[in-house]
Amino acid sequence: MTSASKYNKLIIGLSLGIIAPVITLLIFTFFKSQSTNVVHYLKFVIRMSLMSNVLSLCALPNLAIFYFFINKEYYYSTRGVILATIIWGVIVVITRYTT
């Protein structure tokens, strides 16, 4: 099994596509809530109805992952990133209309 075929899997792209926005959300929350508690900051974001905006910005790293996989011609991994981005988009839409 070559290294190209080892990383060219749908589950790899799906995993990275889900994990990257979550890590971005944690980093974003950490930097924006330096003076306050993280929980208080998240409550503020929810109260101000900004959670869907924050979540949609957190999907931007998927763009870099997508281009990386496209340039390496890992098309199955690219499909996983697209699927994860669609799932993340559904979460954003649900968040927008429920909060």
- Tens of pLDDT, residue by residue over 26-44, are 898 888 877 778 788 888 8
Chain mean pLDDT for the chain: 91
**38 near 29, Cβ under 8 Å?**
yes
Q: Give residue-wise pLDDT tens across range 66-99.
A: 999 999 999 999 999 999 999 999 999 999 998 7
- What is the span of the domain harbouring residue 31? 3-98
Residue 65 has pLDDT above 70, yes or no: yes
HSE-up (13 A, CA, CB side) for residue 93:
6
- How many domains does the chain contain in total? 1
pLDDT at 57: 94
SS3 76: helix
Nearest to 7 by CA among 59, 62, 73, 63: 73
pTM confidence score? 0.86
Residue 53 has pLDDT above 70, yes or no: yes
